[in-house]
Structure 1
Amino acid sequence: MSTATLTTGAGGASAPPEPDLTRDEVVRRAEALARTLVDRQAETEERTYYAPDTHEEFARAGLYRILVPRRYGGYEFGVETFMRVAQALARGCPSTGWMYTLGAAHALAVASIFEERAQAEIFAGGDFVSPATITPAGRARRAPDGGWIIDGTFPYCSGAPYATHFIGHTTVEPDDGGEPELLLFIAPRDQWTLVDDWGRQLGLKGSGSHSVSFAGGHIPEHFALPGTHLSEIDVTRGTPGRRLHGNPEYGGGPLSSMLLESASLAVGMAQGALDAYEDLMRTRKTIFTRVTRAEDPDYQLWYGQAAGMIATAEAAVHEAARRWSATCAEGPEAFTREADLRLAAVCREVVRLAWEAVEGHLFPTAGSSAVRAGERVERVWRDMSTLHSHAGIGVLLRGTATREYARARFGAAEGARP
């Protein structure tokens, strides 16, 4: 997958391709790559995923190893660095940012919840890309060797075109005929096929969010976690990854880490719209006064309002990522469900601010020629609209997680609806 070569460090552990690579440098590389993505957005949408040469550039830049543990050839740079990279790429191309982020981010989950044997096999290639879906689909049954056989189709697998693995949830029918039981699993790329079913959506057409299909896919027993849901794992008693790697970030809140991804992407998308709007401010003239928009009081107001909202959203998501890391460092018991949901609430407000800046200020005042199909402001508007249709944002973040945070805070039971 990558053109980089693994080297072996002390104790037989794999060293990353660039042992001296820094967090700031990998962010700088992402920002430079993002600038090359702006003019390729239409091409990316047409293909339904970013280009092979972009994929290779990401690999060479180390972007697929940011969250991979260092003992397996990764950089282990942590959540704050990863979210800065996600934001940068989404600013250049929302689809590319989404596809990259929702593929590479799940190295954090794998390094947190799976035991050493599984991790050593999963991360053997160094680079890691794995879509993850949280809605159960398909069915699983026991294999003769104690592993699992998976059948079914799993939709909305962002990052699938270049994936090394897939993380999904499915159900197992008990032998006694009782209620189906949940199964979380990770499947290597050779156990599933990519379905050509993405690109007809309103936005994020190039996000590589295809379905993946299993027909008798085999999952080793140690690649599965019965009775587990990725967004609801209790980390307060510690995790296999925290113990294995000695890094507290491999034991953080799973729900808030996933929602930090969405919030970072929303900020990056809004910044891309603001970039396009700034170009219009400098180059377009007003209809009646015939001065540049940058000289017009109304456009100054609209730009200033949007810029302030986006800057606030950016500050909030960066602080949320910092708090996420700080809470991890306090110890396993600090990352309670309440703490996880409180950070999720911050992410909700970040997404809201970013969207309102675009939808309320930039899109309606950019002008009809600037929001024609394929124009940058129009594309961001479509992509952010589609972001809101994601179940994790439109349903879980706006409703379910909000109510659950209040219940966790007050120790209240789920109330009955009138």
Structure 2
Amino acid sequence: MSVLAARIGEQGFPRPPEPGLTPADVITRAEAIAATLVERQQETEDRTFYASDTHEAFTKAGFHRILVPRRFGGYEFGVDTFMRVSMALTRGCPSTGWMYTLGAAHALAVATMFPERTQEEIFAAGDFVCPATVMPAGTAERADDGGWVINGTWSYCSGSPYATHFLGHALVSRSDGEPAPMMFIAPRSQWRRLDDWGQQLGLRGSGSHSITIDNGRVPDHFTLDGHMSEFSVADSAPGLRLHRNPEYGGGPLSFMNLESAVLAVGIARGALDAYEDLMRTRTTLFPPVVQRTHDPDYQFWYGEAAGLIATAEAAILNATQQWQEACAHGPATFTREFEMRIATICRQVVELSWRAVEQHLLPTAGSSAVRRGQRLERVWRDMSMLHTHAGFTVFLAAKAQRELAKARFDIEEVPR
């Protein structure tokens, strides 16, 4: 039997590295690996991205194939499995979890939106790491062969150090002279990563470097007109027809919002872990001097934060379930109203997570617990950085609520 034949399963699809791997297996692996990430947070920040041996461990564990379709040698385990893996890794190290999540998540979007020919080429290697940005930048011009020549620089490309591809938006001059966004996928050979990350307030190890493209060339079938946030699966969902899995017919916008929220929960759970360590190892500041676990005030602060975080976790897992159920009902379920309802849930998830850390854990931990390099100090910086992300500050915190109301009441935009 040839090597190729040995890799082909009963359905004619390439076998993944571990054909018997289950969703429970990868979640267990993520929780085990997460425990090892805690002590490596400082080196990850210093490097500005997680270590090569961590990347190899993620690859070996199957994390980069969770959302890759079975047709291309992926595990196709589903969004709920991906969210639990993301939450576990982020709990261990926010920067590492952020970098992994925003590098691996876009396998779902690519498998949903792009045609079969494109997917065959993009997923050829099986493992897939693809940062994406929503801010249109740079330019795209037609090449003589019908493809595109792309130039520009895109910031905040989380996951870029080990990326196989980049999913971005460039501006194209249309017939009326007005620039319009075009989505494109650029293989690793067409771009380079800039050394411009690590001086930010938080998430310094998230590998969120800029990507620059100088006269990069991509074929036409590596592009889609419009912006990812405006892609309607009700109008077109090539992945649903190709893979016959309803999750490749779900809305990319609502899935992107789920990503932001699950990261917030993971970070907050890490903060609670750090606070629990302080509860077990430190005493109260004023008489009676007792271990913090025995003090009513610390018991209350811990319980209040734990309740907020547990509520946030329950909400994000339920929102994920709603998203999956909507997929099962078909692309038509992903109306603007449904997408915005998921977005408003995600907004509250982030707020609950932030409130637990900012109002209860950080103020009561003690100043020595928030010295530079301490776990709780780092978590606070990381959550503060999350609050500056445009997906949260601009969309979830300001726009989603209005868009939900307008969709519910069928209100068109009123010119000013």
TM above 0.5: yes
1:360 matched residue in structure 2 = 359
Contact conserved, 1:239 with 1:250, CA < 8 A, in 2?
yes
Q: CA RMSD in A?
A: 1.3
Contact conserved, 1:255 with 1:341, CA < 8 A, in 2?
no
1:317 matched residue in structure 2 = 316
1:403 matched residue in structure 2 = 402
Asked if residue 302 in structure 1 is aligned to residue 301 in structure 2, the reply is yes
Q: Residues 4-43 of structure 1 correspond to what in structure 2 (within 5 A)?
A: 7-10=7-10, 12-43=12-43
Asked if residue 199 in structure 1 is aligned to residue 198 in structure 2, the reply is yes
2:327 matched residue in structure 1 = 328
2:115 matched residue in structure 1 = 115
Secondary structure in 2 matching 1:71: helix
Whole-Å Cα distance in 1 between the matches of residues 205 and 91 of structure 2?
Answer: 14
Whole-Å Cα distance in 2 between the matches of residues 321 and 407 of structure 1?
Answer: 23
Asked if residue 125 in structure 1 is aligned to residue 125 in structure 2, the reply is yes
Question: Match for 1:257 among 217, 232, 255?
Answer: 255
Q: Show structure 1 runs of 5+ residues with no match.
A: 1-5
Whole-Å Cα distance in 2 between the matches of residues 183 and 416 of structure 1?
Answer: 26
- Structure 1 residues 360-415: Cα deviation after superposition (integer angstroms, max 9, x where no partner): 00001000000001101111100000001000111111111221111001101234
Amino acid at match of 2:384: S
Amino acid at match of 1:90: T
Whole-Å Cα distance in 2 between the matches of residues 265 and 225 of structure 1?
Answer: 28
Whole-Å Cα distance in 2 between the matches of residues 342 and 258 of structure 1?
Answer: 13
Identity within the alignment, %: 65
Whole-Å Cα distance in 2 between the matches of residues 407 and 346 of structure 1?
Answer: 17
Q: Residues 18-417 of structure 1 correspond to what in structure 2 (within 5 A)?
A: 18-174=18-174, 176=175, 178-226=177-225, 228-288=226-286, 289-415=288-414
| Runs ≥4 residues deviating over 6 A | none
Whole-Å Cα distance in 1 between the matches of residues 323 and 24 of structure 2?
Answer: 19
Secondary structure in 2 matching 1:15: coil
Contact conserved, 1:234 with 1:337, CA < 8 A, in 2?
no
Whole-Å Cα distance in 2 between the matches of residues 262 and 361 of structure 1?
Answer: 22
Secondary structure in 1 matching 2:167: strand
Contact conserved, 1:235 with 1:336, CA < 8 A, in 2?
no
Secondary structure in 2 matching 1:213: strand
Whole-Å Cα distance in 2 between the matches of residues 287 and 210 of structure 1?
Answer: 42
1:187: how far off? 0.5
Whole-Å Cα distance in 1 between the matches of residues 26 and 241 of structure 2?
Answer: 27
- Structure 1 residues 56-89: Cα deviation after superposition (integer angstroms, max 9, x where no partner): 0000000000000001000001111100011000
Secondary structure in 2 matching 1:146: coil
Aligned residues: 411
Whole-Å Cα distance in 1 between the matches of residues 256 and 15 of structure 2?
Answer: 27
1:238: how far off? 4.4
Secondary structure in 1 matching 2:183: strand
Q: Show structure 2 runs of 5+ residues with no match.
A: 1-5
1:231: how far off? 1.2
Whole-Å Cα distance in 2 between the matches of residues 55 and 392 of structure 1?
Answer: 26
Q: Tell me the TM-score normalised to structure 2 length.
A: 0.97
Amino acid at match of 1:146: G
Secondary structure in 1 matching 2:71: coil
Whole-Å Cα distance in 2 between the matches of residues 207 and 394 of structure 1?
Answer: 19
Secondary structure in 1 matching 2:385: helix
Whole-Å Cα distance in 1 between the matches of residues 339 and 246 of structure 2?
Answer: 15
1:13: how far off? 2.2
Amino acid at match of 1:81: T
Amino acid at match of 1:235: V
Secondary structure in 1 matching 2:208: coil
Q: Tell me the TM-score normalised to structure 1 length.
A: 0.96
- Which deviates further from its counterpart, 256-265 or 100-109? 256-265
